[in-house]
Structures are given as C-alpha cells and as structure tokens.
C-alpha cells in the first residue's frame, strides 16, 4: 500500500452503523495483524491483514458492502481507499475495534 491510500478520507461509519450494516449483510474485513486477530475478532469477519490486502482483495465479494476495520481506524482507512480504488463498495469503521466494543458489538472470546 502506498502513502496515497492514507491521504484521502474514505467514507466512514460509526461502530453502531457497522453493527446494523453487518446484520443486514455487509461483510466486515479485519485488516489487523494475525496476533491481533487471535486475541479477539468480530464473528463472521474476514481476516485479511493490511499487508496482504493488495494481493488478496480480489478474494472479497464485489456484491456486498465491505466494512474495513482495525484497532483504531487508521489502517482500515487506507484499506477502504484501496478497496474503493479496486471497484469495491467499501467504508471504514472509524475508531475500529475500540468503538465496536463500546457499542456492544459481539466479539469472539479471547
């Protein structure tokens, strides 16, 4: 990923919106590293670490909204921009897992 993916602000949603959209069929894409994923993750999320995203993004469905997230929302902002550039409908969950937990979103047990 290049620096330009972080220079633009992608469409962003709150964790509460992400919870609702995921329940309606949006796919959550976790771009955190494997050790972070192993601690806890959102059920039914796809794990695609940011460093793998450029090569693996074509594995993602192109007929669903993709919600990118990380721990705090910085890495996932770049991921959402990269996905949008590749033709996906993607948004960033701002403030990431921090707000997901605060909004009462489900997590796998650590």
Distance CA 94, CA 69 (A): 7
At residue 38, the pLDDT reads 94
- Give residues with Cβ within 8 angstroms of 19, minimum separation 6: 100, 103, 104, 105
At residue 109, the pLDDT reads 75
Residue 34's Cβ-count burial label (10 Å; 0-12, 13-18, 19+) is exposed
At residue 3, the pLDDT reads 47
pLDDT along the chain (110 residues), means of 10: 54 95 97 95 96 96 96 90 93 91 88
3-state secondary structure of 18: helix
At residue 58, the pLDDT reads 94
Q: In what order do the strands lie in the sheet with 46-47?
A: 12-13, 90-93, 66-69, 27-30, 46-47
């Amino acid at each position: 990923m290049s620096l330009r993916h972080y220079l633009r602000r992608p469409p962003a949603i709150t964790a509460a919106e992400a919870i609702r959209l995921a329940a309606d069929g949006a796919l959550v894409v976790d771009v955190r590293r494997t050790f972070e994923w192993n601690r806890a993750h959102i059920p039914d999320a796809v794990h695609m670490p940011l460093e793998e995203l450029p090569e693996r993004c074509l594995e993602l469905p192109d007929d669903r909204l993709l919600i990118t997230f990380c721990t705090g929302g910085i890495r996932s902002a770049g991921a959402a921009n990269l996905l949008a550039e590749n033709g996906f409908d993607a948004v960033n969950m701002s403030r990431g897992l921090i707000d997901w937990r605060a909004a009462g979103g489900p997590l796998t047990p650590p």
